[in-house]
Amino acid sequence: MAEAAFLTVCSADTYRWFIPLFVYSAKRAYPEYHVRVFVRGKLDPPLTEALDVVRSTVERHWEVADGCFPDVPVRPSTCNCLRYLLPKETLLEFKYAMFTDVDMVIFRHQPTHAEYYAGVMKATGQPFAGVRGALRRPIRKVTRGYGWDQHYHRIVGGLFAIRPALWLRTTATERRRYVGISRQGNADGRDGVPWAAYPEYDEVMLARMIKWSGLKLPMRKFRFVDETRFNMEYRDVHLGDFEGERWRRCKKELPKRLTPWAIRRFRELEKEQQWLDLVKMCCVDERVRRLIHNLRVYTEAA
């Protein structure tokens, strides 16, 4: 059994050019960890060439599998939901499984990511480590008269880790339920909203899996079950934070998300020619180019 893995699911249509940067940064940070990216859709030759560049630098313990989940309905939150419904055979390969977004840049920490999450799970007595999402109304219509705050708790999707063996045993019933719902695209019987129908559905689904499996939800935003505050340095860099003008407007919130420690690590990464060459290849995608540009502007001024 391997010690730990970073796992994610993404769409070939909109996120494929983030994959090489994600794999490279994760394996640069943790050569001993496994990295698995499951892609809905097929990857084109230019992208596979970028992955060959990663392969020439990082040879072992990573995999990008395309053509996954062809029969699952395409909805706003499909790929994010599928992260938590990966086959148990995949999850059981690892002592710790860490789920994240594909548009992340990961750095090495001490304690490592796995050690940090393991410490949280030991302290809370839970088979997972996750934090409560912001208590704002999800982007969907209220149905059947249920209030959003009572029935729509959220767990932040990009900051979640499990001990697979215990997690799978504890959540087996809820996992089977949501796997069935995902294959049919049916509504969740608890509110009548179709599976993956709105952007935050994956976070709501994850909270429901925890709650209805008899586990304890985190207490509030960015706090674990036992009130221990999440160390935001382990969030590293989320390129999605630099979409549009949001990063310019959120002058108070962004420094909480992108810590001075992460900014220093990114500046160090930007001095490495292999990284710069890979970024140049991936910047054929307009979105990657824009987000990397905005991140550089922000970190240079910080």
Q: Tell me the helix, strand and coil percentages in the chain, rounded to 5.
A: 45, 15, 40
Residue 61: the pLDDT is 93
Q: Domain ranges in the chain?
A: 2-240
DSSP E strand boundaries for the chain: 2-11, 34-40, 62-65, 94-99, 104-105, 128-129, 160-162, 237-238
Q: Are 278 and 269 in contact (CB under 8 A)?
A: no
CB 48 within 8 A of CB 54: no
Structure tokens at 232: 């935001």
**pTM score of the predicted model:** 0.92
182-202 residue pLDDT tens: 988 888 877 778 899 988 899
pLDDT value, residue 146: 47
Phi and psi of 203, rounded to 5°?
Answer: -75, -35
d(CA 142, CA 148): 7
Q: In this structure, are residues 6 and 33 in contact, taking their beta carbons and an 8 Å threshold?
A: yes
Fold of the 2-240 domain: Spore Coat Polysaccharide Biosynthesis Protein SpsA; Chain A (3.90.550)
The distance of Cα 206 from the centroid of its chain, to the nearest Å, equals 12
> What is the model's pLDDT at position 145?
45
The reported pLDDT for the residue numbered 137 is 53
Average pLDDT, the chain: 89
At residue 277, the pLDDT reads 95
Cα–Cα distance, 257 to 259 (Å, whole number)? 6
How far apart (Å, rounded) are the C-alpha atoms in residues 14 and 276?
A: 22
Query: Would you say residue 289 has pLDDT above 90?
Result: yes
What is the tens place of the pLDDT at every residue in 46-64? 999 999 999 998 878 999 9
